[in-house]
Structure 1
């Protein structure tokens, strides 16, 4: 039998698999030229655009293209189109912001973006908080939950070293490890659990009440209901600051606990102390990274309308 290969119409590759030979057909000429063109295009692309890695950065490319720059241009374009409303938000009276539906709606949407970019790492995507990071969706506000108070806290932070106006500047929950004996710590924990409606030994709680009055009431109040540091004291010359109100000590009589209300958690708080810090987000404290006045007002509006704002 005469086969196609016997006629030598097309050479084979010289390989044979179980008697099966492979023709050595050349690639279509058009395909070869397209392949060569892609190589040339690829080489040109690495020269024209950022491509080759270096020790500190990649080659910039002679076209000067940058995806980061492209995004910044788009952001600038959006900001330019919203310039008027951003300017209005920057100087808005937060106390009456909700009366302007259009501006308030813009602020909430803008604030949502600001919150997701800067705040969710600590307070959570739903603002429900975590251990050591307060929830922003309930009615328990150590530093005040009015919209202007929230803006103040965002701008100046809490117990940081950047802003002299930081909430609780220089104030912390001290460690009582060297002040109380082990027995006194146990008694104080029992009293705190008792006033918060939890199970506690009555005799120990009675002993702890005396220790609490002598050592803790100056910050947490005689009844343990906490204190509040807010801007009202600065806004109203006639505002009378009650004892302990400037410390920002939390309410110990409810079921809301920043670090936990179990016997173990309260014991740890007494022994170790607490000194949570929130950075100051005002752009004057974080040049290049902080929030503008409009962004601070926007995120304050967003947090305030989550349900817990006072």
Structure 2
């Protein structure tokens, strides 16, 4: 008898013995009517036998068979490859799996059947709609109270419970616009969707002072930065603002629709846009918050904008 066949028989006997000992000692054979466990054990026995048979077959084939057929034209260092036709059964299985996959994703799961994720999302959407309807007409005091609650959960981890930015780790929301933030935008430009559009503000190479008909200088950047940070008050930097910034932000700095945002005050609209789109600035990048309801956006905008007044 071939050694491979003998080894396979020994393995089968050993595996069957191990299965019997493991299942029998655990009481897995079941009682007289326990067909589930009996079928499971039968399946294990069949699996062991088939696996041993298949492995034995291919091991013997590797031992005895010799390669034959037509070689491909290509070779690598004299090592060629035979032209093997695709087995018909493999082709049928492949195309069958492709068809099954298309059905599975379009008509089976997840598109066409129940899913816990889908049910959860539907319930959240329904709850959000109910929440928005219930609180859509809040007075200012209630709106600010809700905004503070949302702030503690969503914003305080970075900005701190006092909204002071935790020593520069995030923006100090009590400051309308910090000097370093303004200078960073003037130097590098901005495209933070603060108008709900992708219209960018150019960097310093695109900012020209109409009073001097030249690109804005470092000294002018410093002056206009202090002027804007100071609440657009005083005379230092006012001429630079009028000649460079007012064309888009308006002479009072309150912005123009679809042109430039309000930089004279921390408005709820500005907060809302930052929450929806995130913001990149002198400190770093703030992510967008897409998990809030419309009422929560409104409440958070009212609360945050009230901090810098």
Larger Rg: 2
Check whether TM > 0.5: no
Q: If the length of structure 2 is used for normalisation, what is the TM-score?
A: 0.32
Q: If the length of structure 1 is used for normalisation, what is the TM-score?
A: 0.32
Per chain length, whose mean CA-contact separation is higher, i.e. which structure has more relative contact order (CA < 8 Å, sep 6+)? 1
